Amino acid sequence: MRLETIPLIIAGIIALIGLGLLVDSWSADHVPGTRERRRSPRTERSLGGEATIGLGILCIAAAIFGRDTWDYVNVAVIAGIILVLLGTYANRRYLRDRISNRGALRRAESAAEMRKNERPDPDAPDPPATRIR
């Protein structure tokens, strides 16, 4: 293997990552027949922002693939960086929730719910057991 083929392999891997992001942004998010199991709703991602990030990564892969002989390497890198930044800005809420791993906090709505969720008094007598015949 010649040393000149290493950037081509790296560009191919980066291009596959960009294509994966594009396919993920264009595919359906919800599979029919399933339901959400989370208590709090998940933060929605911007599909356009994800597609923009995918296009930016494809531009960067094209710049790596073009090496020094392509006249538009600088244009491709600048366009790729701008597209990645715009896509990141479009998905800022989703990325913030995924990175910090904090969604909406679950809090009791009223004092009645708080009392309902309290632990029983450890000194209170146990309720009588039901007899099963």
133 within domain boundaries: no
In tens, the pLDDT along 84-114 reads 999 999 998 888 888 887 655 555 455 555 5
How many structural domains is the chain composed of?
1
Note whether 103 and 44 are within 8 A (CB): no
Specify burial of residue 96 (Cβ count, 10 A radius: 0-12, 13-18, 19+): exposed
What is the pTM assigned to this prediction? 0.68
In a domain, 128, yes or no: no
Alpha-carbon distances, residue 110 vs 105, 120, 121, 129 (angstroms)? 15, 18, 21, 31
Does residue 36 belong to any structural domain of this protein?
A: no
| Owning domain of residue 20 | 5-29+45-102
Note whether 93 and 43 are within 8 A (CB): yes
* pLDDT, tens only, 28-51: 777 676 776 666 677 788 888 999
**Tokens linked to 92:** 């800022």
